Amino acid sequence: MNQIKLMVDQETKNRPLDHCKLWLTHINYQLYKALEFQYRMGLESLNENLPDIQADLYFKDGRVEFRPSFEALKSKYYGEIQKFI
């Protein structure tokens, strides 16, 4: 990203901003798409490599609840994510 930023800065530094506006918008959009793709692939990869977390659903007083609790499941999930960071 830093190298791309330097290249864009070099190309635009001696040109009027209004002449570069469409090009910069296009470059920013392309970078956004590339970063979004990498983000999604990273999330999918992370989710595939995490160990399974077991949970049971049960009815209590006419409501569906998790066992262990949703908060405990969430805590365990984030704990497993921290191991990968």
Tell me what the mean pLDDT of segment 29-56 comes to. Answer: 94
pTM, to two decimals: 0.64
Residue 65 is predicted with a pLDDT of 93
> Do residues 34 and 3 both lie within one domain?
yes
> Do residues 34 and 73 both lie within one domain?
no
How many structural domains compose the chain?
Answer: 2
> Do residues 56 and 45 both lie within one domain?
no
Helices (H), 1-85: 2-12, 17-49, 70-84
What gap in Å lies between CA 79 and CA 85, rounded to an integer? 10
Residue 47 is predicted with a pLDDT of 85
The range of the structural domain enclosing residue 8 comes to 1-49
CA distances from 66 to 16, 43, 51 (A): 60, 24, 19
Residue 39 is predicted with a pLDDT of 95
